[in-house]
Amino acid sequence: MRKSTVDEIRARFDGDVERFSNLESGQTAAIDGALCLGLIAEAAARTTPGARHVLDVGCGAGNFTIRLHGKLPFRHATLVDLSLPMLTRACERVGAAGVETEIVQSDLREARFPESSFDIILAAAVLHHLREEQEWEDVFSRFHQWLRPGGSLWIFDLVAHEIPAVETIQSERYADYLRGVGGDDYAKAIFEYVEQEDSPRPLTYQLDLMRHSGFAGIDVLHKNATFAAFGGVRK
């Protein structure tokens, strides 16, 4: 099946800002989205307590940056997203929390920053849009380079599974969750755009990439069915 292009994905997110602007529920299409929002904020704040500059890639409407700032009063945030309407909303909301913000409209694969620029990197519901293995390797390598020594990376995302039977079980559990949120039509719509847009990789694959890129202290905060929250520290 042909996957959506970057422009097609951007167009969908341009029209979906409100769904990503709820700080209490997080993304309702994501299992345990609100729980993981809080876990990542707590883990990032305690792991990197002296953080001054945060990078939020695929920032959406800014939920993760805002929640983190409630735990850790950093001064600067750089927000990256494909969608300008998302960036505009995120900048308004993060700025209202008293954070100096810079916005960068870019595909993550094309974003570039100087080495050791950030204390914390947040990446929520963005990596599943990567396609080829080299893209995954390059992005994790850049994450490591962009962090200052002692800085931390935190990810919440859709994940796949290495064993086909396990993938089937977990997909069925995700479908049950979606039907509980919005019924059969909602579940069907979510699965259709996941098939059209997304290329998730297993959690185990991503943890291995983190180790290969030089991260240490790697840990899993939470996993439920097809979603996981995890992170690590630059040596």
Cβ contacts of 91 within 8 Å, gap of 6 or more: 62, 79, 101, 103
- Check whether 1 has a pLDDT greater than 90: no
In the chain, where the domains are located: 6-234
Report the pLDDT value the prediction gives residue 24, as an integer from 0 to 100: 59
Place of tokens 């990542």: 40
- Check whether 16 has a pLDDT greater than 70: no
Q: How confident is the model over 33-43, as pLDDT tens digits?
A: 999 999 999 99
Confidence tier at 209 by pLDDT (50, 70, 90): very high
Is 149 exposed, middle or buried (CB count within 10 Å of its CB: 0-12, 13-18, 19+)? exposed
Q: How confident is the model over 101-142, as pLDDT tens digits?
A: 999 999 999 999 999 999 999 999 999 999 999 999 999 999
Class of domain 6-234: alpha beta
